[in-house]
Amino acid sequence: MLYQTGDKKKQKLAAEVIERLRREYPDAACTLDYDNAWKLLVGVRLAAQCTDERVNVVVEELYAKYPTMEVLAAAEAEEIEAIVRPCGLGKSKARDISACMRMIRDVYGGQVPDDFDELLKLPGVGRKSANLIVGDVFGKPAIVTDTHCIRLVNRIGLVDGIKEPKKVEMELWKLIPPKEGSDFCHRLVYHGREVCTARTTPHCERCCLSDICASANTENNEKSREKNEK
């Protein structure tokens, strides 16, 4: 188990981050709307380079026309594309969704597999999507390394300058207790959207992690030096 091999100092930092984010976002959950596994697969594919809010609007129309996995599997990719186009990359997303639903129908008997490696065999499903499914739907250990996760764990100092999603995931398995991974990653998304933002200056002044965050401490030290030099 990778957690047993992790850096003890970083594990201690991770434990504190987990606890503080739990207090800050006690009800954090996946922000894609779904009520079964195949709908989450569709939603996470559409969410690539698109906001969850827009995806949630688009899938309402999609599921109104194709209410079951079997009906969606029978649809032509062009028909799906006409609905999902507002999410961007409509052609490739529609093609993946169509192929994915058909594979679930034909290979897995209409049931989304609960095994990580089997999920990776589905068209359009990568490690991030597979982790989201096994964690949120099947309650298994999972670490979802989306852009918020990667940005925040680097800023906090849990990983050091690693940007490649799989490498970040492997490092986090060493630091995050398996039962905490899924909720931890959802809370990173909330915190990344509300406080530790990407396109604006992070709001360190109201961050619950500012006193233990490597980036916040560096920024505060630089401000102190600038103030003393004036």
Which of the residues are catalytic?
128, 146
Tell me, what amino acid is at 6? G
> 102: number of CA atoms within 13 Å, CB side?
12
Structure tokens, 228: 């003393």
Nearest Cα neighbor of 166 from 182, 143, 138, 188 is 143
Calpha distance 180→40 (Å, rounded): 20
| Separation of CA 208 from chain center | 21
Q: How far is CA 133 from CA 66, 188, 229, in A?
A: 21, 17, 52
Burial class (CB in 10 A: 0-12, 13-18, 19+), 200: exposed
Structure tokens, 77: 């990719």
Q: How far is CA 96 from CA 44, 177, 200, in A?
A: 12, 33, 33
